[in-house]
Chains A and B, each alone.
With several copies, the nearest count.
Chain A
Amino acid sequence: MTVTHDDVVRWIRAFADAIAQNKDSLTDLDSAIGDADHGINMHRGMTAVLAKMDGDGSADIGALLKTVGMTLVSSVGGAGGPLYGTLFLRLGAAAAGKEELTDEDWVAMVTAGVEGVQSRGKAEPKDKTMVDALIPARDALASAVAAGEPFADALRSSAAAAEEGMRATIPLVARKGRASYLGERSAGHQDPGATSSWLLMRTAAETFGDHME
């Protein structure tokens, strides 16, 4: 019932895959309310991450995630780079020295990661950002684990909550990021960052949950 270093590697690869497959649709979402690069940026970043991971020999999950974060920071740029970079750096810090993760570890890590995104980006819920997918995901995860639900179920709830949060960004008027320049015209479009964050939580649920069943 634990997540291994290999599982984390599989998750990162699965996230990279999901980004590659959704590169165009993420970019399309960003055309509507941003500058048409979110899919391109995340794909460039995750491609760089995959290249870095090939040479990784250590079993330290914290070190692995820190590398992912550093790589994203230095390859993505835009808003996505510092935000996803910080998210992974914080996941890594929370997992420092660990070679396996329990469900509580994962809750602590996601909590730290989301906190990092908020302290970097200053976004609050309903600002129409990735935070709108991440906070519900964190909350669903934390309460399911606290309630003693099986980890796979907790992961599924967190992915479902991320998806719901992502969809809930559609009617919102953006107050942070590039979409905020549009004012009222930003309503009616799904936030690209919330969408990539849902992919992050979904691939975690699929990889870690699948492994445990």
Chain B
Amino acid sequence: MKKLINDPENVVREELSGIARAHGDRVEVHVDPHYIVRTDAPVQGKVALVSGGGSGHEPMHGGFVGMGMLDAACPGEVFTSPTPDQMEAATKAVDGGAGVVHIVKNYTGDVMNFEMAAELVRSEGTEVESVLVDDDVAVQDSLYTAGRRGVGATVLMEKIAGAAAEQRRPLKEVVDLCRKVNDNARSMGMALTSCTVPAAGKPTFELGDDEVEIGIGIHGEPGRQRLKLAPVHDIVEMMATPIVDDLPFKSGDQVLAFVNGMGGTPLIELYIVFNELASFLDGRGIAIGRNLIGPYITSLEMQGCSITLLKLDDELTDLWDAPVNTPGLRWGV
């Protein structure tokens, strides 16, 4: 295992210390329990957004704390969802009297820990609504399984709901917007290489020199299919087809196209992926109204990418364009 770390045990603590030193102008980092919070929290009268999840997906979620996006984020150990006491502390720290939204990616661990946290804070009188993100079409959805994973749509939801909260929209509207984003977004990921959890010390899975894994999650969970390495044209088609067919996205639709790097993929490749995606969508008569290209929801040093499409309307577009000032996403201010 080759990483720029000291002790695998201290990875998250030292990362948080780096974030605190780097972004003290915008965020405060609390240790024990760990959470990252806007320096101006709680913002009175504003719905507060709290998210969280395992570490190793940076900039998500800590990098999305700030004006126009999250009020707080709870980082767990690497790839391990955080604990209820973190979420409880973060929720209390950001509660500005207008209610708190928990943005929860649909993983058993995240769901159960956020559930326990919500039970705790509700019993103490804070109004909390939970929203689930489950946009990953690589996973079959069913009442009898854990359901789809939450992946790329999380970033879009945090941005869009964050803008709505910033406009002082009420709790119900913010929650409805979160659901609208989730309902209109679909994603799929793939990996060229595995990643290595620091504490595990070896790659989560092994891929041959000529193999790719399609339908990968963001925790190094193996995907559903292992295929021979193919030109990116074919790979994008394999990812975009189930995305488009699932919603379905139709001719005439406007979308936000999000090409996400898994952590070890250079930007040059992401632009090539985006180029293929744009051609693919041209062929389906789908217009790209907005785009986001880069490593925003990562899997440590994994090489690979994911594609997320979000069907846009004027409301979502305006909220996407609204100012945001976080370490990981910034414009308009």
Contact = CB atoms under 8 A, between A and B. Distances in A.
A85 to B, nearest CB: 8
A31 interface: yes
A85 B119 CA distance: 15
A40 B83 contact: no
Which among B109, B115, B138 has the greatest number of chain A C-beta atoms within 10 A? B109
Contact of A37 (B77, B115, B224): B77
A180 to B, nearest CB: 5
Contacts of B217: 35, 178, 181
A176 to B, nearest CB: 5
Interface in A29-77: 31, 33-37, 40-41, 44, 73-77
Contacts of A182: 221-222, 224
A185 B205 CA distance: 13
B85 A36 contact: no
B282 to A, nearest CB: 30
Nearest to A129: B108
Interface in B143-164: 144-146, 149
Interface residues of B, number: 37
Contact of A176 (B78, B80, B83, B146): B146
Contacts of A76: 80, 83
Which among A78, A120, A178 has the greatest number of chain B C-beta atoms within 10 A? A78
Contacts of B54: 77-78
Contacts of A181: 138-139, 146, 149, 217, 221, 224
A185 B145 contact: no
A79 interface: yes
Contacts of B221: 34-35, 178, 181-182
A75 B83 contact: yes
Contacts of A78: 54, 76, 80-81, 109, 113
Contacts of A120: 112, 115
Interface in B61-107: 76-85, 107
Q: Is the interface of B mostly helix, strand, loop or mixed?
A: loop
Contacts of A178: 107-109, 146, 217, 219, 221
Nearest to B217: A181
Contacts of B204: 31, 35-36
Contacts of B205: 31
A34 B220 CA distance: 8
A81 B117 CA distance: 13
A77 B145 contact: no
A180 B145 contact: yes
Contacts of B177: none
A77 B113 contact: yes
A150 interface: no
Given A178-B221, A182-B221, A79 B139 contact: no
A82 B116 contact: yes
B6 interface: no
Interface in B42-59: 54
Interface in B171-230: 197, 199-200, 204-205, 217, 219-222, 224
18 contacts: A35-B80, A35-B204, A35-B219, A36-B220, A37-B79, A40-B80, A73-B85, A74-B33, A77-B54, A77-B81, A79-B81, A80-B109, A81-B113, A82-B109, A120-B112, A175-B144, A181-B138, A182-B222
Given A73-B84, A75-B83, A178-B146, 5 more contacts: A35-B221, A79-B81, A81-B109, A181-B139, A181-B217
Closest 5 CB pairs of A and B: A35-B219, A82-B112, A78-B109, A79-B109, A77-B80
